[in-house]
Amino acid sequence: MIRVLVGSRSSLVRAALESVIRASPALEFAGAVDLSHLSSLTLSSSLLSGDVMLIEMADATANDWHVLADLPVPAVLLLDPADPALAGSALRSGIRGAISWDATPQEIEGAVHAVNAGLVVTTPALLAELRPDAQTFAEELAEPLSERELEVLDLLAEGLSNKLVAHRLGISEHTVKTHVASIFAKLGVSSRTEAVSQAIRRGLVML
């Protein structure tokens, strides 16, 4: 069971995030943190009670990201999907996760599990800001990967089976197999290991 803290400057948002955590059988609500005075947060007992902190923070600054990155628990940020530069700034500061604030409860749970496992997690749209050379690499392909194929590729890089990829994305296992076959063809590979290796080299996935 992963103990999740929620943090926001808004009490309403904190309550909403708490309800998401409490609704998940795989997560345990560990408390809420008011981020109105972020600079004063230290190694408080409330922070030490959690494994991961789920955070919504509008109008954050680069300094805010550094403070959050230095907290004793890794953070997953809920960010505006229309502002990928914000995700880039946060992740470069050391934040472990940045996903869209309209993420589903299943996507939030997946991000929490990934960050708790030591992975860096984000979405293909937000990840584009972190990969300035990815487009150049992608252009080397005869046919670029679609956004859905990039999502599948990210999950393959995590070591997920077709069945788990299907569950994570809410699609059928047959559809996943079709995407995997297309990924193999576009990358010119014949195995998952080769696909992930090529994707890392081309900057298409981030581990």
DSSP 82: T
Query: Which one has a higher pLDDT value, 175 or 158?
Result: 175
What's the confidence (pLDDT) of residue 86? 74
DSSP letters, 157-188, are HTT--HHHHHHHHTS-HHHHHHHHHHHHHHHT
Q: At what angle do helices 147-157 and 162-169 cross, to 10 degrees?
A: 130
Phi, psi torsion values for 74, nearest 5 degrees: -70, 150
At 13, is the pLDDT very low, low, confident or very high (cuts 50, 70, 90)?
very high
Query: Which one has a higher pLDDT value, 69 or 146?
Result: 146
Q: Structural domains in the chain?
A: 2-128 (3.40.50.2300), 134-201 (1.10.10.10)
Strand order in the sheet with 27-34: 27-34, 2-8, 52-56, 75-79, 97-100, 121-122
At 65, is the pLDDT very low, low, confident or very high (cuts 50, 70, 90)?
confident
| pLDDT at 63 > cutoff 70 | yes
What's the confidence (pLDDT) of residue 137? 46
pLDDT single digits (tens) 138-174: 446 678 888 899 889 988 888 888 999 999 999 999 9
Mean per-residue pLDDT, 91-99: 80
At 206, is the pLDDT very low, low, confident or very high (cuts 50, 70, 90)?
low
Mean per-residue pLDDT, 18-37: 91
| pLDDT at 116 > cutoff 80 | yes
What's the confidence (pLDDT) of residue 64? 80
